[in-house]
Each structure stands twice: as C-alpha cells, then as structure tokens.
C-alpha cells in the first residue's frame, strides 16, 4: 500500500499569516504546501491585478 500524501495549507486567504506557513515548509512533514490567496476581492481589483500585493512579504518570509 502506498504511503499517504501529506498536503499542507500555507494560506486560506490573502491576509493570512506567513509564519505558520514557514513552520510547515521547514517541518519536513509535508509533500507540498498550498497557498490560496486569490479571492473575488483580489481578482476584482482590475486588469493587471489578480494578486494580493504581498509578494515582497512572501519573499522575505514574514
């Protein structure tokens, strides 16, 4: 029997915290980390938007 695949959540909406996502990524316990940051609100900010504006924070890790 194959081993279970462990999926971690790193964000459920665009203002979710980053530090618990880093903790999961560094734990070695998960096969992949999924960050769900795109909502009606973030998409709707218009053409050229479609992101949550947190790229700098994400690349910094906090």
Alpha-carbon distances, residue 31 vs 4, 11, 14 (angstroms):
10, 16, 22
Q: Please, which residues bridge with residue 25 across strands?
A: none
Residue 57 in contact with another protein, rule: CB under 8 A: no
Q: How far apart are CA 55 and CA 1, in angstroms?
A: 40
Stretch 2-21 residues interacting with another protein (CB under 8 A): 2, 4-13, 16, 20-21
Please state the closest distance from residue 36 (CB atom) to another protein, in A. 6
Residue 47 in contact with another protein, rule: CB under 8 A: yes
| 22: its two tokens | 């880093």
| Contacts to another protein by CB under 8 A | 1-2, 4-13, 16, 20-21, 23-24, 27, 29-32, 34, 36, 38, 40-41, 43-47, 50
């Amino acid at each position: 029997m194959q081993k279970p695949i462990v999926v971690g959540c790193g964000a459920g909406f665009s203002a979710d915290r980053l530090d618990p996502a880093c903790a999961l990524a560094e734990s070695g316990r998960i096969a992949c980390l999924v960050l769900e940051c795109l909502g009606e609100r973030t998409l709707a900010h218009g053409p050229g938007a479609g992101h949550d504006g947190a790229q700098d924070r994400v690349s910094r890790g906090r």
